Structure 1
Amino acid sequence: MDLEMVMQELEALGKERTKKIYGSNGAREPLFGVATGEMKPIAKKIKIDQSLAEQLYATGNYDAMYFAGIIADPKAMTEADFERWIDSAYFYMLSDFVVAVTLAETDIAQEVADKWIASGEELRMSAGWSCYCWLLGNRPDGEFAESKLTRLLELAKNTIHEAPERTKYAMNQFIYTVGVSYVPLHEHAVETAKAVGPVEVNKDKAKSKFLNAADTIRKAVDKGQIGFKRKHVRC
């Protein structure tokens, strides 16, 4: 399948209701409004095609960019490629669920994520923290340096309340993910979550809400989910 064929198939799968949902989360035109599950039959036909993935991502169409992440070959991507992708990721559903997910399947994941966390830019930081969440939820504990994750927990604890909006979400998720998926630092993550307390988001909206990693870790403990690892990062 070539670019034009894929774009036609995606457009045919678009639904106005889904388009409105994506728009309310920050997606902008051009987009079709394709539910992610609807993309699977096309992905099965294509499997992995990095060249096509690059063409799709470059369209700026949200659905095409998302689909690019599904058929991309992460191992074929360089740090420069990921920098280019994150530059075009204009809202969190791209930065955290396309770019960070794809990065999490590479050998350079931690190195790039560290740079993004230190960047001071909202969506780069969000993608960096999110990448660690995808990594921790999939890879064996032995692939991580406990001292490094301890430092990241401290960084999250000390900066989360002043962080940009989307970065707050990702940092909160990081604390939760360490608490659930990285057994050696479970207790430390619990203590960090308690020290952080509720994190306010959506302050600029009529009704703000609060994230609470301590509550979500406790629920995971109750369900016996500590040590959880998923088989695959990408669907």
Structure 2
Amino acid sequence: MAETTVTEVLAELAALADPKVRAANEKHGDDHGVNLGKLRAVAKRLKTQQDLARQLWRTDDTAARLLALLICRPKAFERTELDAMLREARAPKVHDWLVNYVVKKSPHAEELRLAWLADPDPVVASAGWALTTERVARRPDGLDLAGLLDVIEARMADAPGRLQWAMNHCLAQIGIEHAGYRARAVDIGERLEVLKDYPTAPGCTSPFAPTWIAEMVRRQRETVTAS
């Protein structure tokens, strides 16, 4: 089979671009017009291709970078490479996919989590908080949950948007997963009122931490009761 080139992939992505999709994405800060379902179909066809993924990333095209994150081999990236990629990933969807699809699967995830948490760039720091939220939920051993709540209590209210959102997610996750810290997490959320008035579609859970915590704990209890 002939090797797929970057030029061919970019031409395919350009043909898939839809002005209406782009307009919708731009409302969220993402500058591309490719339907994500179609993008995933391209990725499924291409399968894992680490070299092509690196080349697509270097184009600085948002759709190409999203595709790169779907066809890459997460464990093949060096720590310094992932750090550089995170700092280049300013489009929200690229940032989210890089953290969730690649960095979380990397052997460098914990080292990067600690480094990014302390980074002065709020967008980079938000990635550190996203990785911390992952640990709160899946591997909390060794985490200073009380210390995390201290930082959230002191800094979340004045944090820039993406960082605030990531810290709020961590706050909610601590309250959901760790009953011993639940009352304090709810109290912090109630006092800071971060995302309290965030518009929430019918049937969706509000990102306001006290509401989010209460709903997820209710579901957990229902699951236990049903089983």
Gap change, CA 1:190 and 1:34, over 3 Å in 2: farther
Q: Is the 8 A contact 2:86 2:124 kept in 1?
A: yes
Structure 1 runs of 4+ aligned residues shifted over 6 Å read none
Q: SS of the residue aligned with 1:20? A: helix
Matched, 1:19 2:22: yes
- Residue in structure 2 matched with residue 37 of structure 1 by the alignment: 37
Gap change, CA 1:131 and 1:147, over 3 Å in 2: closer
Q: Deviations over 1:93-133 (max 9, x none)?
A: 22233245410111221220121111021110111112333
Structure with the higher fraction of residues in helix conformation: 2
Per the normalisation by structure 2, the TM-score is 0.81
Query: What stretches of structure 2 of length at least 5 have no aligned partner?
Result: 198-205
Matched pairs, number: 210
Q: Is the 8 A contact 1:96 1:126 kept in 2?
A: no
The structure that has the greater radius of gyration is 2
- Residue in structure 2 matched with residue 212 of structure 1 by the alignment: 208
Matched ranges for 1:1-235 at <5 A: 1-28=4-31, 31=32, 33-134=33-134, 141=138, 143-180=139-176, 183=177, 185-197=178-190, 198-199=193-194, 211-224=207-220
Q: SS of the residue aligned with 1:104? A: helix
Query: What stretches of structure 1 of length at least 5 have no aligned partner?
Result: 203-209, 228-235
Per the normalisation by structure 1, the TM-score is 0.79
- Residue in structure 2 matched with residue 231 of structure 1 by the alignment: none
Q: What letter matches 1:167 in structure 2?
A: L
Higher mean C-alpha deviation, range 124-133 or range 59-68:
124-133
Q: SS of the residue aligned with 1:83? A: helix
Q: What letter matches 1:15 in structure 2?
A: D
Q: Aligned partners of 2:142 and 2:123: how far apart in 1? A: 25
Give how far 1:76 is off. Answer: 0.5
